Structure 1
Amino acid sequence: MASTNAENEPRRSICCIGTGGTIASEPTAGGLAPTRQDTFFRRIRSHPSLTSPAHFDSSSVSFSSPVHTVQVGKNVKYPKLITPELDDNGISVEYEILDLDRHLDSSEMTPSEWNIIAELVHQNWDNYDGFVILSGTDTLAYTAAILSFLFNKAGKPIIVTGAQIPLSRPRSDGWTNILDSLFVTGTLDFAGVGIVFNHQLLKGTRATKSSPNLFGAFTTPCVPPLINFNVKITYDTSAPLPKRSSNPLPPLLRLLTDPSVLSMHIYPGMTGSLLEAQIAAVPTCKAVIISAYGSGNLPINEHSGVLQSLKRMVEKEILVVVISQCGIPNVYPLYTQGRTLLSIGVLPGYDLMHEAAFAKLIWLVSRPELSFKERQELFETPIAGEMSK
């Protein structure tokens, strides 16, 4: 029988998937590292904002109390926890932490790990009302972006969060990031993939990591936050929040794990031979992101050889996308360079962030049923709110 809240309403159940990262790091002889041990769970179980002692069988539960885990394949599931009341209506949330068998520094995240996370969400979709992915911050925005495409229009919330300071250290921001994530997934009528960080809910396909130091580590330069969690909670009024629904879960897509999307930065002196050398070194390459100047400009004079190289890439049916190096990107073909690129089949990235461009391309090239032309057309079609045209 489902547990209930103060108003006798069913209490929502959330699955938190632990991948490691800063939030789960502990001091080691070599510095902070995302070690896999039950200390992380013990810290959460002992925190009064995340665990209500009223729901324990014993009032004597402490940090050192035993932890009874369940092995789920290679992963470990920790005991269910229940939050205190999270809003004025007396709503609380129950949640379970499912820890991956190997904790990662998020700089080690690859499409293989994304496949594991997506499969776990897929397997547990009917068992929970929402999901929280606990991640390191370096690739957190990439993870949110790829999950946005893999679970596009699914009817439940999937939140990705982490911390700038580990839970094991003083002044950790991880406590409030977890709390706000449980608030979003457990109390709000919200569906979709988002990032919760520093008292904001950000759209999963629009975010980028903008600071390794500030608690506000993530921004969405081209769109406002979906929600600001201040004394008064405020919402973006330009578009309604997607609501929970019974939309069917998209079929599970296995992402290619061989290197398939390359990223190249244009700089003064870049030549076509340099571009092609990188392509030649990766025979599994199916798409290339070119980070260009300003509104999508790059050298196209015959001496540089860049234009000829890009044309040969397209002829080999490699998706070539141009995005902007600017902090607030927007690629539009105002200048001769941009219009010339369009004429040879190079695709404009509009206001895509690099994270979303990478995620969208790997999502496209992992779909063998699509032709090259269909992939080109779908790239220029907004799929998960990732760009404006």
Structure 2
Amino acid sequence: MDSTMNRSTPQLADEARVLVIYTGGTIGMLVGQQGLTTEPSFLTETLRSQTRFHDPLENSLFSHSGSVQGYRQWSSNSGRSSPQTGVSTGAYYSSQLPTLLVRSSRPIGHTSLSPGQDLNSVPRLTSIKIADNVYEAHLPSLVTPRSAVPGGTGGKRIRYAVLEWDPLLDSSNVEMNDWIRIATEIELNYSFDAFVILHGTDTMAYSSSAMSFLLEDLGKTVILTGAQIPLSQLRNDATDNLMGALTIAGHYIIPEVCLYFNHMLYRGNRVSKMSSYDLNAFDSPNFPPLVKVGIEIMVNWNNVIRQTTLRRFRAHKEMQSHVATLRLFPGITAETVSAFFNPSTKGVILETFGAGNAPQRHFTMLERIRGDMTPECALAKLSYLLSKPEFSTSEVRKLMGVPLRGELTRLSLVPPPSQLSVERNLESLNGVLSHFSRLSNQSSAHNPGPQIVISNLDEATQDAAASWSWTAAEAGSAEAALYPLLLHLAVARNDIESIEFCLSKNTRDADSDFSTADVSGLIAARQGHIDVVNLLNKMGSTLSVVDNIFAALAVANASKIGDQRLLDLWISAGYISLAT
């Protein structure tokens, strides 16, 4: 091996490093005698030859088209647009190119040939075994022209290496062991800034769902993409899909497993393939896209998962393969159902009718877990949970209905405010909970008061669910839903500090004239907490919105106990006739 291959290219401040894991699929295929077929090294050689994907000297038209002056400068230098002039085929593996250190659980480089392929036509690369099932090689790197995105810190180049599988797979041949292999290679190369996985479209939704669970405590961007028309064709969707995935991976930190297709970045465990013929092949029916790429790149940060723990990233390396999916149909027989529940089957996902209906004749004893998971995600999640020996059957059932990676929608009673910061909302949420704790601890032996009891899952179950983190939207919804309860509790306890904390937030419903503070004022007035009522009045609450029946009872109670301050309070609110 050439000595230059032993030195990885130093990372520059204006570069992002992305590992492209090329598993196979239409994106890198060529037309063969029997239709589309994979060809070793074709994709990497094609990317190297196109200046939009590889511009090492920044002398392409793409690097000079940002202004008229830039174009004129490029044009005056003879308009050289290809950095590969005079470089022979197979030069991607040449020691002349800068390299990136890449590791894999398999030997790196092609050892197999396609039918009719000449051994001398395949670029060779030697990897070194450094441990059991760990190989490494210095792969030549490619680098894009400089680009900038909305919300970014300026121009940035994306340097990437392509780790190409041998043999390349048609996605219809992908198995669970391949999911584990992808997860392992991400773990072995976690020093990269982000990851793009090139994959066939037929099973991409299954793979993106599985990866979302296998990559535990993920803190970096992982994007699966592919194409309906290969890069080898003049008219294709491969160019936009790959460039879009590289751009998002290189410029944004979206620490989720995502799927990018046709200008949309989706949460990976929310998608299904909808068409084998349209370029808009995927959709996320129950969750909005995380990113929309149009004239501008619009990131929906409210829905992006942010980790709230400091646990180290790890790849789970097991899946339970004895699972199945049964799609119900009218007239399904008991024999058909029974065939799915043989002793070797560990779990079955039922695709039922409508909102979860099933024929009562055969399914009366089955526990139903309702949710908005896709069939692909449900199967991957069940396989993942069943692969963890620490979980009992009942715990697996429980976790199937718990959102672990954003695959299920948390129920929310309050719409979140817009433009949220997850850090701000989590901080506020912790503030709310600390006041709950303080108020709960004020109880005495004679007046225990209301207690807040949180029922926790056991330790093993918590560990599996812990890698799910709040999105900003969900943190905001939880915060908004807790404020009314906290305010009412603080008023009942006559706790001025907690009341002021709550009133520093907006507790008035914009669609109602009867706010949380108004209700709390009535509670305080009913219990004779005059100082609390005065504080609430200063913050905008009012007793004048209460109905006369409630006011009459409150006035009668004040008269009965002889509390003139309470009577004066109701009189000042306009209920004079009730007090006389």
TM-score (norm 2): 0.55
1:253 equivalent in structure 2:
316
1:376 and 2:401 aligned: no
2:354 equivalent in structure 1:
294
1:19–1:134 contact (8 Å) kept in structure 2 = yes
Judging by fraction of residues, say which structure has more strand: 1
Corresponding residue to 1:266 among 319, 324, 328 = 328
Give secondary structure in 2 for the equivalent of 1:141: helix
Give secondary structure in 2 for the equivalent of 1:84: coil
Which amino acid in the other structure matches residue 55 of structure 2? S
> 1:30-49 residue pairs with structure 2 within 5 A?
30-35=34-39, 37-49=40-52
* Separation in structure 2 between the aligned mates of residue 94 and residue 275 of structure 1, nearest angstrom: 52
1:83 equivalent in structure 2:
144
Corresponding residue to 1:68 among 90, 93, 101 = 93
Offset, 1:34: 2.5
* Separation in structure 1 between the aligned mates of residue 304 and residue 278 of structure 2, nearest angstrom: 27
2:103–2:189 contact (8 Å) kept in structure 1 = no
1:386 equivalent in structure 2:
407
Offset, 1:375: 0.8
Corresponding residue to 1:352 among 351, 355, 373 = 373
Offset, 1:74: 2.3
- Unaligned stretches of 5+ residues in structure 2: 1-8, 60-81, 95-101, 110-136, 411-580
1:185 and 2:249 aligned: yes
Give secondary structure in 2 for the equivalent of 1:166: coil
Q: Structure 1, residues 63-115: CA drift from partner, whole Å, max 9, x if none?
A: 73523179964233641011101216221110000011221110111101111
2:26–2:230 contact (8 Å) kept in structure 1 = yes
1:11–1:94 contact (8 Å) kept in structure 2 = yes
Q: Structure 1, residues 41-70: CA drift from partner, whole Å, max 9, x if none?
A: 111111222111416996526573523179
2:216–2:315 contact (8 Å) kept in structure 1 = no
* Separation in structure 2 between the aligned mates of residue 249 and residue 156 of structure 1, nearest angstrom: 12
Give secondary structure in 2 for the equivalent of 1:223: coil
Offset, 1:197: 0.8
Could you say which structure has the greater relative contact order, defined with CA pairs below 8 angstroms and 6 or more residues apart? Answer: 1
1:100 equivalent in structure 2:
165
Judging by fraction of residues, say which structure has more helix: 2
1:202–1:226 contact (8 Å) kept in structure 2 = yes
2:382 equivalent in structure 1:
361
Give secondary structure in 2 for the equivalent of 1:179: helix
* Separation in structure 1 between the aligned mates of residue 307 and residue 17 of structure 2, nearest angstrom: 14
2:293 equivalent in structure 1:
229
1:260–1:365 contact (8 Å) kept in structure 2 = no
Offset, 1:252: 3.0
1:129–1:156 contact (8 Å) kept in structure 2 = yes
Which amino acid in the other structure matches residue 20 of structure 2? C
1:319 equivalent in structure 2:
none
| RMSD (Å), alpha carbons | 2.4
2:31 equivalent in structure 1:
27
1:285 to 1:61, Cα distance in 2 relative to 1, 3 A = farther
* Separation in structure 2 between the aligned mates of residue 11 and residue 246 of structure 1, nearest angstrom: 27
Q: Percent identity?
A: 30
Offset, 1:246: 8.8
Give secondary structure in 1 for the equivalent of 2:295: coil
Count residues with an aligned counterpart.
Answer: 340
1:242 and 2:242 aligned: no
Offset, 1:147: 0.8
* Separation in structure 2 between the aligned mates of residue 95 and residue 288 of structure 1, nearest angstrom: 40
Larger Rg: 2
1:115 equivalent in structure 2:
180
Give secondary structure in 2 for the equivalent of 1:159: strand
Which amino acid in the other structure matches residue 351 of structure 2? S
2:47–2:54 contact (8 Å) kept in structure 1 = yes
Q: Bigger shift: 96-105 or 64-73?
A: 64-73
> 1:334-353 residue pairs with structure 2 within 5 A?
344-353=365-374
Offset, 1:270: 0.3
2:385–2:396 contact (8 Å) kept in structure 1 = yes
Give secondary structure in 2 for the equivalent of 1:75: coil
> 1:121-136 residue pairs with structure 2 within 5 A?
121-126=186-191, 128-136=192-200
* Separation in structure 2 between the aligned mates of residue 123 and residue 373 of structure 1, nearest angstrom: 34
> 1:145-224 residue pairs with structure 2 within 5 A?
145-224=209-288
1:382 to 1:51, Cα distance in 2 relative to 1, 3 A = same
1:349 to 1:63, Cα distance in 2 relative to 1, 3 A = farther
Q: Structure 1, residues 123-165: CA drift from partner, whole Å, max 9, x if none?
A: 1112x01111100001111111111111244110110000001
Give secondary structure in 1 for the equivalent of 2:161: strand
Q: Structure 1, residues 244-282: CA drift from partner, whole Å, max 9, x if none?
A: 89954443322236x3111111111102221112333xx
* Separation in structure 2 between the aligned mates of residue 118 and residue 290 of structure 1, nearest angstrom: 27
Give secondary structure in 1 for the equivalent of 2:384: helix
- Unaligned stretches of 5+ residues in structure 1: 308-340
Offset, 1:39: 1.4
2:51–2:83 contact (8 Å) kept in structure 1 = no
